[in-house]
C-alpha cells in the first residue's frame, strides 16, 4: 500500500492514501497517522514531507499505519526539507515590503540552479499607487512592463496579483488558478516573510485557513508566520507546500562558473555568440558576449549587475573553501586580477587540470555524503549535520 507524506508533526507522519491494502480505490482519500518501522529507523532512512512511501500495519478504521519504506525521490530540497517537488512559486511583493529585484533575481537563480522551474507572482499590486523612481530608472514604467520583462526573460508564467477585490489585478487570480490547474504537480512557495504567500493560498482555496499576519506584526516577532512544512491540496492534483525557509539562501560550495546557469537569458546569448575566453565568467572580461549584449540592450543591465554581485559572493566563498580544503594544491593555483565595482581584487583561478581533479574530489565526497545521508536517522541530529555538510559541498539547496 502506497501513500504520500503530507506533514510531520509531534513524532507522527501524516500519510495520504487513496487505495486500501487490496489496491482498491477508497471512496475518498484518507490521511493516516503513521509511525516509522523500526527497521527503517535502524537503517537510518529519513522520511520527508513529499515522500512516496509504502505502508504496512494499516488500520483504515483507526486511520493509522506504519511507514515500511521510502520510494525513490525525483527531487530533494534541503530548505525547506521536502521531497518530490516539481516547481516553485516565487512571490515578490511590490509593496510592504518594497519591491527588491536583487532579491528576486537571486531567488530565481537559486531555483534555476536547483533544476526546478519558477513561476513568478508580483503580489500586493493594489498597494502600488505611483511608480517608484528606482523602477523607472530600470526602464519599467509600470507593473505590466515588469511582468512582461520577466515573462520574456525567463520564458515562464508571470503574474501581478492582488487579493483585494477592488483592485484591477484581482482578476489575475482567476487566470493564475486556471494555469495552476492545467500544470498540476507539487509546488513549493518561496519569498520573503510578508510577501503574501499564505494569504494567496487562502484566497485560491477558501477552505484553507492558514494563519497570516501583517508585516509590522511579523517584524515584531522577527520570524515567518508560517513555520511548518506541509503539503496542501490547493486544487485536485495541485499540491503546494507553504513552507518557511526558501528565502534564506546560501550559495556556498558552488563554483563560480556555475552561477551563469541561474540566468537563462545568458545561455541564449552564448549559444549564438561566443566570448573570447571559453571559461569567461561574463564579469569584466574583454570581448565578452554577455557584456556586449548588455551594452546593446539585449540583456538587462540590472540582471547582469545582480549576476555580478552573486558571482562575487560565490567566488569569495569558493576561494575560501579552496584555501581550507586544498592547501596542498597551492602550487598549481594561478592568481589573476579582477576589477569589481572600481576595486581590483585578486582572484584565485585553478589551472584547468587541477580544477578537473578538484571537481572529481568534490564529487567523490558528495557521493560519500549521499550514502551517509541514506543511513542517517531523521530523529538523529546527524541528518541535520549531514545535510549541512552537503550544503557546504554545494550539492543541494
Picked from Mg ion, ligand GTP, Zn ion, none, the partner binding residue 312 (CB below 5 to 8 A depending on kind) is none
CB of 186 to Mg ion, least distance (A): 18
Q: What are the counts of helices (DSSP H) followed by strands (DSSP E) for the chain? A: 12, 15
Q: Residues in contact with Mg ion, total (CB under 5 A)?
A: 4
CB of 244 to Mg ion, least distance (A): 7
CB of 224 to Mg ion, least distance (A): 6
DSSP character string of 55-69:
EEEEETTTTEEEEEE
Q: Judged by CB under 6 A, which of 45, 84, 112, 123 binds ligand GTP?
A: 123
The answer to whether 199 contacts Mg ion (rule: CB under 5 A) is no
Q: CA-to-CA distance for 104 and 97, rounded, in angstroms?
A: 13
CB of 126 to ligand GTP, least distance (A): 5
In sequence order, which residues have a C-beta less than 8 Å from that of residue 120 and are 6 or more positions away? 90, 92, 104, 108, 150, 154, 156, 157, 158, 159
| C-alpha closest to that of 81 among 248, 260, 235, 214 | 248
Q: Where do contacts with Zn ion occur on this chain (CB under 5 A)?
A: 275, 280, 282, 288, 290
Q: Are 241 and 82 in contact (CB under 8 A)?
A: yes
> Among 148-156, 191-199, 232-240, 375-383, which window interacts with Mg ion (CB under 5 A)?
191-199
Q: Judged by CB under 5 A, which of 225, 229, 315, 321 binds Mg ion?
A: 225
The answer to whether 226 contacts Mg ion (rule: CB under 5 A) is yes
Q: How far is CA 15 from CA 52, 54, 80, 81, 248, in A?
A: 9, 10, 18, 16, 28
The partner residues of 337 in beta bridges, in order of sequence, read 346
| Torsion angle, alpha carbons of 61, 64, 68, 69, to 10 | 100
> Among 28-36, 43-51, 193-201, 305-313, which window interacts with ligand GTP (CB under 6 A)?
193-201
- Residues in the chain, total: 397
> And the C-alpha cell for 211?
494563519
**CB atoms inside a 10 Å sphere around CB 251:** 21
CB of 287 to Zn ion, least distance (A): 8
Picked from ligand GTP, Mg ion, Zn ion, none, the partner binding residue 280 (CB below 5 to 8 A depending on kind) is Zn ion
Based on CB atoms, which residue is closest to ligand GTP, 243 or 289? 243
The answer to whether 260 contacts Mg ion (rule: CB under 5 A) is no
Q: Are 79 and 246 in contact (CB under 8 A)?
A: yes
Q: Judged by CB under 6 A, which of 39, 127, 237, 330 binds ligand GTP?
A: 127
| C-alpha closest to that of 18 among 7, 9, 8, 30 | 30
> Among 33-41, 209-217, 285-293, 347-355, which window interacts with ligand GTP (CB under 6 A)?
209-217
Based on CB atoms, which residue is closest to ligand GTP, 226 or 312? 226
Q: Judged by CB under 6 A, which of 4, 112, 193, 393 binds ligand GTP?
A: 193
Based on CB atoms, which residue is closest to ligand GTP, 214 or 367? 214
The answer to whether 229 contacts Mg ion (rule: CB under 5 A) is no
CB of 215 to ligand GTP, least distance (A): 6
Based on CB atoms, which residue is closest to Zn ion, 274 or 330? 274
Judged on CB neighbours under 10 Å (0-12, 13-18, 19+), 340 is middle
Picked from Mg ion, ligand GTP, Zn ion, none, the partner binding residue 193 (CB below 5 to 8 A depending on kind) is ligand GTP
Q: Are 121 and 91 in contact (CB under 8 A)?
A: yes
Q: Judged by CB under 6 A, which of 7, 79, 110, 197 binds ligand GTP?
A: 197
Judged on CB neighbours under 10 Å (0-12, 13-18, 19+), 25 is exposed
Q: Are 47 and 5 in contact (CB under 8 A)?
A: yes
The answer to whether 225 contacts ligand GTP (rule: CB under 6 A) is yes
The answer to whether 163 contacts ligand GTP (rule: CB under 6 A) is yes
Binding site residues, Mg ion, CB under 5 A = 197-198, 225-226
Binding site residues, ligand GTP, CB under 6 A = 123-124, 126-127, 162-164, 191, 193-199, 212-215, 218, 224-226, 244
Amino acid at each position: 500500500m502506497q501513500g504520500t507524506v503530507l506533514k510531520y508533526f509531534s513524532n507522527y507522519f501524516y500519510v495520504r492514501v487513496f487505495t486500501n491494502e487490496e489496491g482498491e480505490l477508497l471512496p475518498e482519500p484518507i490521511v493516516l497517522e503513521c509511525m516509522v518501522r523500526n527497521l527503517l529507523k535502524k537503517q537510518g532512512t529519513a522520511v520527508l514531507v513529499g515522500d512516496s512511501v509504502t505502508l504496512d500495519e494499516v488500520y483504515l478504521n483507526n486511520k493509522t499505519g506504519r511507514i515500511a519504506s521510502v520510494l525513490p525521490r525525483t527531487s530533494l530540497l534541503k530548505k525547506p526539507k521536502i521531497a518530490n517537488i516539481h516547481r516553485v512559486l516565487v512571490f515578490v511583493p511590490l509593496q510592504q515590503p518594497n519591491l527588491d529585484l536583487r532579491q528576486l533575481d537571486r531567488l530565481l537563480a537559486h531555483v534555476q540552479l536547483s533544476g526546478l522551474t519558477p513561476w513568478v507572482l508580483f503580489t500586493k499590486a493594489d498597494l502600488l499607487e505611483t511608480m517608484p523612481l528606482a523602477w523607472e530608472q530600470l526602464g519599467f514604467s509600470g507593473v505590466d512592463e515588469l511582468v512582461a520583462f520577466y515573462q520574456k526573460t525567463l520564458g515562464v508564467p508571470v503574474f501581478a496579483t492582488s487579493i483585494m477585490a477592488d483592485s484591477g489585478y484581482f482578476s489575475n487570480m482567476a487566470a493564475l488558478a486556471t494555469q495552476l490547474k492545467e500544470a498540476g504537480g507539487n509546488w513549493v512557495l518561496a519569498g520573503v516573510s510578508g510577501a503574501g504567500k499564505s494569504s494567496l493560498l487562502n484566497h485560491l482555496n477558501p477552505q484553507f485557513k492558514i494563519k497570516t499576519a501583517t508585516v509590522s506584526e511579523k517584524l515584531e516577532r522577527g520570524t515567518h508566520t508560517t513555520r511548518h512544512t506541509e503539503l496542501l491540496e490547493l486544487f485536485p492534483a495541485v499540491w503546494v507546500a507553504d513552507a518557511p525557509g526558501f528565502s534564506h539562501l546560501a550559495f556556498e560550495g558552488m563554483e563560480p562558473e556555475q552561477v551563469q546557469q541561474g540566468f537563462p537569458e545568458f545561455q541564449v546569448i552564448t549559444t549564438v555568440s561566443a566570448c573570447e575566453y571559453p571559461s569567461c565568467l561574463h564579469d569584466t572580461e574583454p570581448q565578452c558576449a554577455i557584456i556586449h549584449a548588455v551594452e546593446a540592450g539585449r540583456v538587462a543591465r540590472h540582471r547582469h549587475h545582480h549576476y555580478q554581485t552573486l558571482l562575487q559572493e560565490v567566488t569569495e566563498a569558493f576561494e575560501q573553501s579552496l584555501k581550507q580544503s586544498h592547501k596542498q594544491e597551492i602550487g598549481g593555483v594561478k592568481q589573476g586580477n579582477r576589477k569589481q565595482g572600481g576595486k581590483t581584487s585578486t582572484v584565485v583561478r585553478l589551472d584547468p587540470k587541477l580544477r578537473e581533479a578538484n571537481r572529481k574530489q568534490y564529487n567523490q565526497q558528495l557521493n560519500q555524503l549521499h550514502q551517509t545521508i541514506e543511513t542517517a536517522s531523521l530523529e538523529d541530529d546527524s541528518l541535520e549535520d549531514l545535510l549541512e555538510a552537503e550544503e557546504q559541498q554545494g550539492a543541494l539547496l
